[in-house]
Amino acid sequence: MAFLEIDRLSKTFGNVRILKEINLEIEKGGFLVLVGPSGCGKSTLLNCIAGLEPITSGEIRINGRNVAGLHPSKRDIAMVFQSYALYPNMTVAGNIAFGMEIRGVPKLERDKAIARVAETLQIGHLLDRKPSQLSGGQRQRVAMGRALVRDPQVFLFDEPLSNLDAKLRVDMRTEIKRLHHRVKTTIVYVTHDQIEAMTLATKIAVLRDGVLQQFGTPAEIYNNPANMFVADFMGSPAMNLLAASVEGGSEGDVRVSIDRPNAPPLSLPVNGVGEALRPFAGRNVVFGIRPEALTDPDGADRNAHSVVEGDCLIDVVEPAGSDTFAVTRLGGKEVVARLRADARLQPGQTARLAFNLDKAVFFDPSDQSRIA
């Protein structure tokens, strides 16, 4: 049985359905990341788990116990807010100790707990300051300290890093991961940043307009997106999604053909997933391939079963230090290929690119669902 279970949860504000039949679960000590574009209902879901918003239907169970109707303070959770929500009138120590003070924990014990948390997060020298005297990164730490000191069953994080600058965000991300390894508490973490989701999660739930799109491990989400939305949302640079037409009869080889400018269409054999694609023969599908599966022939994955090469007209070359990105046009779309840093390429030239078809995915353009 999972530690935190969300069962057919729906939530409406007035007449608007914000969350629709969400089913999720995470094992004890797991790191669940809720990811999705802004306004898709991530914070609302987190607030439902915290008990800050009443749910409309469904169930939330923590450690087997239905928490419906349980006050937020009785759910044994701790939350870190996007704005940090530090009490401006209290010192850092006061902020960390407020919950204990309310629960009537004796002063001596409170001071010990503050010292312990301050040690963990290295904020000992800030304890007497007011939140207004702290930098963004320091506020973030204090907000985490206030959550840590509760030693809860579940941590809830609502976009805790979104107000930090890029460098600090990466540092804090690592630190949160380290913290999770040490305390091993179950975490539910909300972000709109797919890189944060990939790096932190043991399980990812992708949300869109209040509907769960896909729920799985980071690798599953990345390699086997359930639909075009997930494929497009996860990964940076994003997966290339281009039109391709399926060729093949009721038997024999199945190929997809992709338009190229100034050249006959590129025809790729897709026998690995041929049977799934066969019903689409004569029709268009969406062909998805990640930039790292579209490389220069020397850089192609040697363990892949099916690598096909094709000539493509290069529009733009973007050296990025560790890699070189090349933009070409395929199937009427701009397509990004990821080449080795020292790949020699000139814009306007034709270059030979390797398609790793093991990693290719196909979607039905009519409903954006995954075919193969």
Partner 1 sequence: MTALPFDSPETPHAHDMGQDTGRGWRITNRIVIYGLLVLFAVLYLMPLFVMLVTSFKTMDEIQGGNMLALPQSPTLEPWAKAWGETCVGLTCAGIKGYFWNSLKMVVPAVLISTLLGALNGYVLTKWRFRGHNLVFGLMLFACFIPFQSVLLPMATILGSIGRFGVTLQNAFGTSLGLGNPTVNLVFVHVVYGLGFTTLFFRNYYEAFPSELVKAAQIDGASFFQIFRRIMLPNSLPIFVVTVIYQFTNIWNDFLFASAYAGTGESMPMTVALNNVVNTSTGVVEYNVNMAAAMIAALPTLLVYVVAGRYFVRGLMAGAVKG
Ligand X SMILES: Nc1ncnc2c1ncn2[C@@H]1O[C@H](COP(=O)(O)OP(=O)(O)O)[C@@H](O)[C@H]1O
Give me the phi and psi of 306, to 5 degrees please.
Answer: -130, 95
| 43 interacts with ligand X by CB under 6 A | yes
Q: Which amino acid is at 105?
A: V
Tell me the number of residues near ligand X by CB under 6 A. 10
| 87 interacts with partner 1 by CB under 8 A | yes
Cα–Cα distance, 129 to 149 (Å, whole number): 18
Closest to partner 1 by CB, 96 vs 360, is: 96
* Of positions 6, 32, 33, 43, contacts Mg ion by CB under 5 A: 43
Q: Specify whether the CB–CB gap between 353 and 308 falls below 8 A.
A: no
**Region 38-57 residues binding partner 1, contact defined as CB under 8 A:** 47, 50, 52
| 39 interacts with ligand X by CB under 6 A | yes
Q: Which stretch binds Mg ion (CB under 5 A): 43-51, 180-188, 205-213, 231-239?
A: 43-51
* Of positions 85, 281, 345, 372, contacts partner 1 by CB under 8 A: 85
State the nearest-atom distance from the C-beta of 203 to Mg ion, in Å.
19
Query: What does the DSSP 8-state code read for residue 125?
Result: G
Cα–Cα distance, 229 to 124 (Å, whole number): 45
Q: Which stretch binds partner 1 (CB under 8 A): 70-78, 113-121, 164-172, 329-337?
A: 70-78
| 133 interacts with partner 1 by CB under 8 A | no
Q: Is the dihedral of CA 68, 74, 79, 84 positive or negative?
A: positive
State the nearest-atom distance from the C-beta of 43 to ligand X, in Å.
3
| 13 interacts with ligand X by CB under 6 A | yes
| 38 interacts with ligand X by CB under 6 A | yes
State the nearest-atom distance from the C-beta of 97 to Mg ion, in Å.
27
| 191 interacts with ligand X by CB under 6 A | no
Closest to ligand X by CB, 56 vs 267, is: 56
262 phi-psi bin (left φ>0, alpha ψ -120 to 50, beta other): left
| 343 interacts with ligand X by CB under 6 A | no
Closest to ligand X by CB, 81 vs 98, is: 81
- In Å, how far are 141, 202, 203, 280 from 31, measured between CA atoms? 19, 5, 6, 39
Question: Which residues have a Cβ under 8 Å from the Cβ of 270 and sit 6 or more positions away?
Answer: 254, 255, 256, 277, 357, 360, 362
Q: Is the dihedral of CA 110, 112, 116, 121 positive or negative?
A: positive
Query: Which three-class secondary structure state does DSSP give residue 153?
Result: coil
Closest to Mg ion by CB, 43 vs 138, is: 43
| 44 interacts with ligand X by CB under 6 A | yes
* Of positions 20, 21, 61, 81, contacts partner 1 by CB under 8 A: 81
CA neighbor of 49 nearest in space, from 3, 95, 100, 98: 3
- The total of other beta-carbon atoms located within 10 Å of residue 162's CB is 15
State the nearest-atom distance from the C-beta of 168 to partner 1, in Å.
21
State the nearest-atom distance from the C-beta of 163 to Mg ion, in Å.
12
**Region 3-32 residues binding Mg ion, contact defined as CB under 5 A:** none
Q: Which stretches of the chain are assigned E, i.e. beta strand?
A: 4-13, 16-26, 31-35, 57-62, 65-66, 77-80, 154-158, 186-191, 203-208, 211-216, 240-247, 255-260, 263-269, 284-289, 294-295, 307-319, 323-330, 333-340, 350-356, 361-363
Q: Specify whether the CB–CB gap between 233 and 194 falls below 8 A.
A: yes
| 166 interacts with partner 1 by CB under 8 A | no
Beta-sheet strand order (sheet of 350-356): 294-295, 350-356, 307-319, 323-330, 333-340
Partner interacting with residue 169 (select from Mg ion, ligand X, partner 1, none; CB below 5-8 Å by kind): none
Give me the residues that bind Mg ion (CB under 5 A), please.
43
Give me the residues that bind partner 1 (CB under 8 A), please.
47, 50, 52, 71-73, 77-79, 81-83, 85, 87-89, 98-99, 102-103, 146
Give me the residues that bind ligand X (CB under 6 A), please.
13, 18, 36, 38-44
